[in-house]
Structure 1
Amino acid sequence: MAICAPSSSDSSSGSRAWVVHAALLGAAIAAAAGAHFYLRRWSSGFRSRVVGIIPARFDSSRFQGKPLAQILGKPMIQRTWERAKLASTLENVVVATDDEKIAECCRGFGADVVMTSVGCRNGTERCNEALEKLGKNYDIVVNIQGDEPLIEPEIIDGIVKALQGAPDAVFSTAVTSLKPEDGLDPNRVKCVVDNHGYAIYFSRGLIPFNKSGKVNPQFPYLLHLGIQSFDAKFLKIYPQLPPTPLQLEEDLEQLKVLENGYKMKVIKVNHDAHGVDTPEDVAKIEALMRERNIA
């Protein structure tokens, strides 16, 4: 094949073409190198170090001393800790509290305890303070609600893997189907999710809300389970973000994440939510545990 040299009139345009070609080639090489680095980072364990933290405080407007409430002979905080310890993705599970009675109880059944400030405004801030005091380089922190003594370890693993699989998200959580009779219960937090599995909004009210103003028994409403995981770097930023209007109005800390433009990955699971919000809920949990032969 003959190779024709460019004429003098073509030399300048040819040079420009080679410059453009070289720039594009360089960009392609850089992109490939970046992809290689990312894949190597992933294969070596992207967001691989995970700790579970159970924030626990004694004071509660609805249920004073809730973490220490006895459930078939064990404190509720112990039952939650034992379930969390079964999750395969967690390197460790610690209790973060500002109350010495809770701390003493937890040390008694073998849990690691981190004492945190009474000034923490919510469980997420308590998790952040506990993370700092742990002094270890974790990539993900799972905020495990202490009032879910029957939490499934598979759900903990599920939200961890969801966050590991969504590099654009800083937060992950789980939802399940909402029972129609719980549609108007403000203690049952509802969630709406987009087509890609990212949270749009959370509310104590019924969402979506239809024109009839009634619960539609045919609509697949979603119930937020409360358990959530954070990218550890974002968790350090979270307390510095000022409270937001929706967060304050709904009294839901996850709304501050959304209002500040961060992405939140949501997984849907099959789970009968059995949180303890009031003293009356303890008897319901105990009856369920007897039914399932859970000691």
Structure 2
Amino acid sequence: MSVLIVIPARYASSRYPGKPLVELTGANGDKRTLIERSWRAACAVQGVDRVVVATDDDRIQTAARGFGAEVVMTSQSCANGTERCAEAHAALGGGYEVVVNLQGDAPLTPHWFIEDLVAGLRAAPDMGLATPVLQCDGETLNSLLADRAAGRVGGTTAVFGRDHSGLYFSKEVIPFCAEHFEGAAPTPVYHHVGVYAYRPDALADYPSWPVGPLEQLEGLEQLRFLENNRKILCVQVEARGREFWELNNPEDVARIEAMMVKMGNN
């Protein structure tokens, strides 16, 4: 099963303009841009046939080609990463059996998250797409709650049914928990990892659907699938002792750098 990883990256982010070119300092003091670190994470995944950066910005194109990435230029009309992935896949001539969307703000994504994701989609032929979910421990849950209390839009959470098909995704922390958790204690909240694996037909259909009210309210691209009655397989992944966080706000830079130092990630 041929696999393409697309890393969609745009410069004009409303919450954090220029985010893909923000430099992050690793454990040995090396500074690399967010988009390079995301590309390196993609290149570490086993069983992948091709990795490309998809962008509409010349600055990102120049930076990506500078560190050796293949770049596909896409239009400025792409509303989100899924639309950019669909355009990039078409520009490459299609033909891949699985297209992975590794968003350019997730440099800490372990390779096994994506490997498990692709395996999960392969094992579910009735699903058009899949996405990873990671059970929150007390520390992560409290970080999500702290973001919301401070008025910051932090990580996304997910709820799913017994068959692991997604019921809803939200930038709020769901489900509501009256119980307080600390440290490494497991919680009933699942952190949605911003990666998607699509079958080509599901990906090709996506841009033709109008933006629905839930996608517009939450600003979450995957809700367009649910609003069009398409199932999303939630694949539970394991941290294996690794910390995971996405770069959503400027305040996340120091947190991610601290995690890289702790993990020895250069």
CA contact (8 A) 1:94 1:113 kept: yes
Choose the corresponding residue for 2:199, options 226, 231, 254.
Answer: 231
How far the C-alpha of 1:144 sits from its partner, in A, is 0.2
Residue 62 of structure 1, aligned match among 2, 10, 15? 15
SS of 1:101's equivalent? helix
* Cα 1:63–1:165 shift into 2, 3 Å: same
CA distance in 2, matches of 1:160, 1:82: 18
Is structure 2 residue 174 aligned with structure 1 residue 207? yes
> 1:84 deviation in Å?
0.7
Q: Secondary structure at the match of 1:279?
A: coil
CA positional deviation for 1:257: 0.5
Look up the match of 2:237: 269
| Contact 2:9–2:54 (Cα < 8 Å) also in 1 | yes
2:193 aligns to what SS in structure 1? strand
User: Which secondary structure state, in structure 1, belongs to the residue aligned with residue 52 of structure 2?
Assistant: strand
Match of 2:252 in 1: 281
1:120 positional shift: 0.5
The answer to whether the aligner puts 1:108 opposite 2:66 as a matched pair is yes
Aligned-partner residue type, residue 132 of structure 2: A
State the distance in 2 between where 1:189 and 1:56 align. Answer: 19
Determine helix, strand or coil for the equivalent of 1:175.
strand
1:124-160 per-residue CA deviation (whole Å, 9 max, x = no partner) reads: 0000111111114111110001111111011111111
Count of aligned pairs: 245
Q: Within 2, Cα distance between the matches of 1:59 and 1:253?
A: 17
Match of 1:198 among 145, 165, 181: 165
Contact 1:49 1:139 in 2 (8 A): yes
Match of residue 83 from structure 1: 41
Contact 1:171–1:265 (8 Å) recurs in 2: yes
Q: Is the 8 A contact 2:175 2:188 kept in 1?
A: no
Q: Which amino acid aligns with 1:284?
A: R
**Higher CA-based Rg:** 1
The higher relative CO (CA closer than 8 Å, separation ≥ 6) is in: 2
Residue in 1 that maps onto 2:86: 128
Distance 2:179 2:157 in 1: 13
CA contact 2:135–2:187 (8 Å) conserved in 1: no
Contact in 2 for aligned 1:180/1:216 (Cα 8 Å): no
Q: Quick one: structure 1 residues 215 and 117, their matched pair in 2 at CA, closer, same or farther if it must change by over 3 Å?
A: farther
AA in 2 matched with 1:235: L
1:152 aligns with 2:110: yes
Q: State the partner residue of 1:117.
A: 75
What secondary structure does 2:16 align onto?
A: coil
Whether the 8 Å CA contact 1:182–1:188 is kept in 2: the answer is no
Q: Quick one: which amino acid aligns to residue 111 of structure 1?
A: A
TM-score, scaled to structure 2: 0.87
Q: Comparing both structures, which one devotes a greater share of its residues to helix?
A: 1
Q: Which residue in 2 is equivalent to 1:182?
A: 143
Aligned residue type for 1:255: L
CA contact (8 A) 2:144 2:154 kept: no
Q: Deviations over 1:171-209 (max 9, x none)?
A: 100111233313433422111111111111111123223
Tell me, what secondary structure is at the counterpart of 1:287? helix
The 5-angstrom pairing of residues 161-172 of structure 1 reads 161-172=119-130
Kindly state the Cα deviation for residue 94 of structure 1 after the two structures are TM-superposed.
Answer: 0.2
RMSD: 1.5
**Structure 1 CA distance for aligned equivalents of residues 157 and 94 of structure 2:** 34
Aligned partner letter, 1:224: H
Structure 2 alignment gaps of length 5 or more: 26-30
SS of the residue corresponding to residue 156 of structure 1 reads helix
1:137 aligned to which of 95, 101, 112: 95
TM-superposed CA distance for 1:89, in Å, is 2.4
The CA distance in 1 between the partners of 2:129 and 2:203, in whole Å, is: 9
User: What TM-score do the two structures reach when normalised by structure 1?
Assistant: 0.79
Q: Which letter maps to 2:263?
A: R
